[in-house]
């Protein structure tokens, strides 16, 4: 693996690439996964009755490692030297305010310069290059090291423990996917009790039968896949359900919990950072931060994330583009620490049908996710009239989307939807993040379920 001022030799994994079925090498990260789990659980237990000052000191214990890694990154070393900053300047969480923030555009341009290059490290040698989902904007390149690739299975163990779910020795994990690609695969999970991961596509034949036969213990999906699941007459009974990437309404979450009879963890994450927080099981709308792995600030009502967990790419004050407030909280669920409130990273939007029923607009996300789009916005103008804005010139074969959208709307209850297709140079944004769904209709019954 060569190095010429950045990450030049990292292999690429993405849409269309060959999928690696042999993940046996990931078993080498078993001990690190165990340590990470103990750190999360110990911090939770040890500080249950502690005050904010003591808990902050516990988080600050992880700043030394972050500071040293920042100065091992070509990008950060250059930026921080320009500002006259050294590792000794990052001692307390208050010191973060004097350090620069990183935005998504800069990360997309400078991804080669961000990694800490250590060619002798197995974690670096196992690093891969992936693309973010692009669910709210153009995908960007993201580098993940060997442990980053298995960190989610550490989080599954963490959420199972805090919800009292007992997983079998070798759990069956199913990723239920509603993407148009229809990609399916199976692999082992050496850091999750040597479990098995199966990706089942709703676009392939008989997905319900194969899902039921899988005898799933942990079910991963996003709200698009969960909408499909709830439309089926028979559903599996996993021990734990995890949802991310899109807005999950309180109503849908309650319906899902009633149907599958299992806890539903709605977690906040991004391809760039990994898991950041999870929505409280008792107080919907409150997202508890995964300290001491992550630190979240609210800067002018925008969430800014620092990853304290070691990774090949140190992330310092990364601007998420999501709105919210962060406050120290003693929650009735037993969590004590930092909680995100007024979170609008996944904005609720419901479209009004002619029969007066409200439909979650995110049910339409399946049509747009992972398509080669520079950006889109769907706005309900009137009950049967929608405007679809696409960024670009209309020369890339996307003119069929108006017809596909109309067919999907008819299946959801609109008898005769009218689609106005419009190509634009760019989309206006509220704050710093695109808003994919909007409505111009105000319904008296459309109240915010989170309040």
Supply the pLDDT for residue 8: 44
List strands edge to edge, sheet with 294-299: 294-299, 302-307, 318-323
d(CA 232, CA 45): 40
* CB of 444 closer than 8 Å to CB of 385: no
Supply the pLDDT for residue 359: 85
- Most distant pair of Cα atoms in the chain: their distance: 65
Supply the pLDDT for residue 85: 94
Closest to 354 measured CA to CA, from 397, 409, 414, 406: 414
Supply the pLDDT for residue 19: 36
Supply the pLDDT for residue 18: 36
**Encoding tokens for residue 187?**
């692999």
Architecture of the domain whose range is 350-439:
2-Layer Sandwich (3.30)
Supply the pLDDT for residue 258: 94
> Across the strands, what pairs with 351?
359
DSSP 102: B
d(CA 165, CA 437): 35
Q: Name residue, tokens 């891969």.
A: 128
d(CA 21, CA 370): 22
Q: Name residue, tokens 């197995």.
A: 122
Supply the pLDDT for residue 5: 38
Per-domain residue ranges for the chain?
350-439
DSSP 153: H
DSSP 353: P
Supply the pLDDT for residue 361: 83
How many Cα atoms within 13 Å fall on the side-chain side of residue 432? 16
Closest to 262 measured CA to CA, from 237, 296, 231: 237
List strands edge to edge, sheet with 11-12: 11-12, 128-131, 141-144
Supply the pLDDT for residue 117: 75
Q: Which residues of the chain have pLDDT under 50?
A: 1-22, 431-432, 444-451
208: Cβ contacts below 8 Å, ≥ 6 apart: 232, 234
- The angle, 0 to 180 degrees and rounded to 10, between the axes of the packed helices 223-230 and 250-260 is 50
d(CA 427, CA 226): 29
Q: What is the pTM of this model?
A: 0.79
Pairing assessment for the beta strands 385-391 and 418-424 based on DSSP bridges = parallel
Supply the pLDDT for residue 431: 44
**Encoding tokens for residue 193?**
């009790």
């Amino acid at each position: 693996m060569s190095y010429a001022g950045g990450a030049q030799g990292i292999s690429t994994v993405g849409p269309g690439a060959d999928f690696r079925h042999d993940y046996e090498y990931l078993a080498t990260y078993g001990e690190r996964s165990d340590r990470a789990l103990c750190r999360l659980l110990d911090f939770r237990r040890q500080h249950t009755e502690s005050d904010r000052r003591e808990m902050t000191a516990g988080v600050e214990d992880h700043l030394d490692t972050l500071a040293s890694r920042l100065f091992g990154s070509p990008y950060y070393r250059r930026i921080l030297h320009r500002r006259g900053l050294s590792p000794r300047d990052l001692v307390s969480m208050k010191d973060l305010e004097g350090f620069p923030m990183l935005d998504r555009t800069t990360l997309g341009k400078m991804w080669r310069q961000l990694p800490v290059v250590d060619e002798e490290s197995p974690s670096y040698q196992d690093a891969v290059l992936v693309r973010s989902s692009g669910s709210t904007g153009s995908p960007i390149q993201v580098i993940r090291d060997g442990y980053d690739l298995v960190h989610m299975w550490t989080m599954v163990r963490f959420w199972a423990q805090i919800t009292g779910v007992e997983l079998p020795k070798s759990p069956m994990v199913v990723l239920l996917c509603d993407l148009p690609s229809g990609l399916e695969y199976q692999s082992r999970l050496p850091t999750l009790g040597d479990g098995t991961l199966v990706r089942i596509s709703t676009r392939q034949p008989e997905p319900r039968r194969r899902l039921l036969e899988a005898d799933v213990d942990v079910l991963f999906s996003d709200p698009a896949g969960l909408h499909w699941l709830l439309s089926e007459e028979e559903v599996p009974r996993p021990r734990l359900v995890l949802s991310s990437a899109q807005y999950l309404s309180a109503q849908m979450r309650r319906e899902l919990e009633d149907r599958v009879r299992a806890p539903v963890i709605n977690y906040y994450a991004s391809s760039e950072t990994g898991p950041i927080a999870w929505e409280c099981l008792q107080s919907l709308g409150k997202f508890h931060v995964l300290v001491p792995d992550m630190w979240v600030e609210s800067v002018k009502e925008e969430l800014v994330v620092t990853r304290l967990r070691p990774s090949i790419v140190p992330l310092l004050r990364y601007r998420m583009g999501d709105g919210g407030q962060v406050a120290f909280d003693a929650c009735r669920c037993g969590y004590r620490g930092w909680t995100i409130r007024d979170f609008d990273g996944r904005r609720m939007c419901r479209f009004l049908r002619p029969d007066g029923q409200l439909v979650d607009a995110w049910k339409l996300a399946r049509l747009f996710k992972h398509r080669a789009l520079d950006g889109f916005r769907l706005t309900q103008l009137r009950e049967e009239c929608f405007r679809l804005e696409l960024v670009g010139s209309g020369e890339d074969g996307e003119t069929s989307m108006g017809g596909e959208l109309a067919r999907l709307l008819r299946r959801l209850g609109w008898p005769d939807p009218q689609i106005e297709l419009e190509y634009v140079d760019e989309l206006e944004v509220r704050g710093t993040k695109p808003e994919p769904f909007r409505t111009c209709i105000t319904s008296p019954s459309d109240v915010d379920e989170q309040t």
